[in-house]
Structure 1
Amino acid sequence: MRTTSFRRNVATVLAAALGAGTLIAGAAPVALAEPTDTTGGTLDWGVKASFRTYITGPIAHGSIEVRDPATRNADGTFRFADGAGTADPDAGTAELAFAGEVYFAGHDMGAGPLLELTVTDPRVTVTSATDGVLVADVVSKSLDSGELVTYDDVELADLDLTGHPLTFDGGTVSATGVPATLTAAGVPAFANFYAAGTALDPLTFTATLEEQQPVFEPSIEVFAADGTTPAAEAELAYGDTIVVRGSGFDPGGNVAPTGNRPPIPAGVPAGSYVVFGSFADTWQPSTGAPSSARTVGAQTWALAQAALDQVPAQYQDAIRAQWAEIDEDGTFTA
C-alpha cells in the first residue's frame, strides 16, 4: 500500500468496518471459544465390586436397584448417562455431569433394610493431567442412629489420572480405567463402611465435544515494504510502501442490511476498509464529523472471495482495483 501524504506516521493505519463503525487495531487474533461444551456423555462405574458382592451375598441378603437413565452393564458395573458439561483441550481439564441413580439395600430383618445407600447423578471434575474428583449426591443410613442422612455434592472419590489421561480425539473427550479412592468426606456418606483411601472401582467416561465456533477479534500489524520489518512507529515519506497484515477478521461477518446501498447486496458480508491517512480524535461521519476530520492517503477493501463473487458485475472492477482477500482463517495482506 502506498502513502499519498508526506511524513505520515504508520500508527495512523486504521481498519474500519463498512456499515459497522470502527474496528480497533491491536486486539488478539482469531481464537476458538474455550472451554468446549460437551453432550451425550456416559460414565461407567461400579462403585465398589466387593460392596456389590456383599450387598447381594449370603450375609446382607440385599438388592441393587438401578434407576433411569442409569443402566447395568454386563460386568455388573453401572452406566450413568446424559453426560454434559465442558472440556478444555488446551488445559487438559473437564467438568462433566452424568444422570442416573443406584440404590443399595441390605440386612432387612422385616422392619426395613438396616443398610441403605443411594448414589445419584455423579459428576467428574478433572483439574490437571493427574488429578480429578468424583462428586455425587449421596443418601445413606447411619449405622449409629438408623436415620437416613443426605450428603449433597459430596466429594466422594479422588481420581488419579496418572497413566489414564484425559484424551481428546475425534470430537470426543474420554478417560479409561481411572483409579478412584474414597475421600475423608466420602467416609460418612458411605455410612463409615470403609476408611479414607480405600480403593473404589475405576471410572471410564466419555463425552462428545460440540463443534467450536471461532471468535473473531480483529487485529492489524504494519510492516515495511519487505513484509517482515515492523513499521508501526516508523516515520514515512511520500511514496513509501508499507504492508498491512490483518488477522481475526470474520470473512462472513459485517453482513449488509436490507436496503444497503450498492455495491454490496443485502445479506452479503461487506468486509472492512483498511485506510492509511490522518484522522482526528473524532472522525466518524456517524458522529457528524466533517470530511476535514479525515484525510485518506490510501485504502484497501478487505473482502472474502465468496462475498466479492456476489457483487453485481458493474462494480467488480472498481472493487478489485483496491481488493485484498480475507481468507477463511480471517487473515489478509494489503
Structure 2
Amino acid sequence: MPVRRRRSTALAAAVATATALGATALAALGGATTASAAEAPLADYELTWGIKQSYRTYVGMFGSFTASEGAGQAAGNGAFTFTDGTGTYDTTAHTVDLAFRGRLVSASAAHHFEVTLTDLRFDSGAGEITADVTTVDTSGATPTKKGDDVPLAEVAVTRTMTDMATTLTTEAGEYLGSDGYAGAAGDPLTVVKKTPPTTEPTTGPTTGPSGEPTTGEPSKEPTADPEPTDPQTTPATREPSPTASTSASPSAPATTAPGTTAPTKGEIADGTLGWGVKESFRAYVVGTVAKGRVTVSGGATQAAGNGAFTFKDATGTYDTDADKLTATFKGAVNFKGHESGGSYSLDLTLSNLKATLDGGTGTLSADVNSLGTQTKGVVLADLEAKSGDLKAAQDVVTVDGVAATLTAAGAKAFGDFYPAGTELDTVDLSVALSDDARLPDGGGSDTSGGTGDGSGTAGGSTGGGTGTAGGTGSTVGGTGTTTGGSLGGGSLASTGSDIPGPALGAAAGVAVVVGAGAVYATRRRQAQGQSAE
C-alpha cells in the first residue's frame, strides 16, 4: 500500500501519542506489541462528499460523471458516495483511518479531459481526504498525470463525522485543473457506518466480538483532540435562498375589520414573487468565467450572497373558487458578463414578470432584453404547484415552492445555455386580495450600492435606482459551498470558483475560458435573431 501523506502537526501528535502509549503498554505487558490493542478493525462505512459544487456543475455543463465499482452519485448532479469503507479505529486516540470502494470519472469530450478518482481515504487523525488520481488530456496535447494518495482536502473533523467542513488543497487544484481551488471551501464531508452494530458497546477499552470499538462508535467519540459535544467548527451548509416567502415573518393579524374579507374573485391589491432564475446561472455570471455582475432595478431586490430575487407591486386577477391566479410584478434583473473592449457577450435583462396558475399549473413569462433586443411576454417556464387549491388566509394567497421547468422559448432566451426541460429555481408567490391585507415580509434585501464590481444600470431594464450583487463573500449552492470573498467574487455555473481545465495546461485553460465565452456569445446572438419581434 502506498505511503499516505499526512499533515505534519497531526502526524507529530499521533507519533507522540503512540510513543507514550506504547511505552506504558510495554512496561505493563512485559514488552508485548501494542498495535493490536490500540487499533480495532472497522467495516461497512460510507463516505459522502461532493468535492465542490462548482466543479460538478462545470463538468455537468460540458461533460459528465461516471460513478462505478461501489461509488454512486445523488440525483441532480449531486454529491458522490463511496461505500464499503474498511480500516481501523484507534481506541486511545479516538481516530479512524478508512479506505473506500468506488471509481469516479469526470470527463468532457468537448474540453478533452478525463479525471479518475479511486481508493478514496479518510484519516481523521491527519484531518484529510486522499485519493489515487489520474488525469488524461484526451487530445494528447499533454501527458497523462498520475498520483497515489493525493491529498484532496483538509477536513475539520467533528465527533459525529457528519457535515464536516473541507478545504481543497493545492494538489486538488493541480489535478482538477484550476489553481483557484487551492484553499477554497469544498463540499461538506460525511462518514457514517452504514450497518448499525448488532450489540451495544460495553464500557472499557476492549473490543467486542464484532471487532468494533466498544468505547463507542467512532462517530460519537472525540477525534484528534477532545472537543465539546457540539463541534467547534460548523461546516458551511446551504441555506435556502431567501425569498419573499421562505423568510416570511410570522403571520400577523389582518388589519381588515371583521366581516370585510375579500370576495372570492377580483383584482389583486398587491403581491410579491420570489425567484432566483437558476442558482447555477447566477453564480456563473459573477464567477471567474463570465466575470460579470447581477443588477436589480425597478423595485426588485436581491437577497444577500448573490441570492434569489424578489419582484413586487403585483397587479392582476384572482378567483379562489376556480383556483385561478394571474399576477404581473414590477422590477427587473440584469445579467451581464464576458466583457471585451467595453462590450458584453452576455447582457440579459428580465422584467415585467408574470405568473399564471390554473388548478396548480401555469406559466412564468417575462419581457426579455438580450443584447439590446427586446422580446415581450416570453414564456420562460412551466409552473406546477404542490397543490391546485388557492386558499386565502387573512386575505392573502401564498403559494410556495412552485416547481419551474425551462421551456423551449426560455431556452432560446438563455441562448441555449440550458436545454428545455431544465429545472429552474422554484417560485414563491404571495398576493394580497384587499388593500388592507398584510403581505409576508419580503426576503430579498436591496443590494443597491453593494460590493460587486459594477455599478451600472441594468441594460434594458426599467424603473429607478439600481443595485448590484455578486461581489460579496457568501455561502450559496449545494451543501456548504462558499463563493465570492476569497475567490474574487463568485464562481462558475453553480457555486464556488474558477473554470477548471484538467490536464490542459495554462494555454489550453485560457482557450477553454475564451471558448466558453465565444460559444455563449454565438448562442446569444442566434437567440437574438430567432426571438426578436
What TM-score, normalized by structure 1, do the two folds share?
0.49
* Structure (1/2) with the larger strand percentage: 1
Larger RCO: Structure 1 or Structure 2 (Cα < 8 Å, ≥ 6 residues apart)?
Answer: 1
What TM-score, normalized by structure 2, do the two folds share?
0.31
Q: Which has the larger radius of gyration?
A: 1
* Structure (1/2) with the larger helix percentage: 2
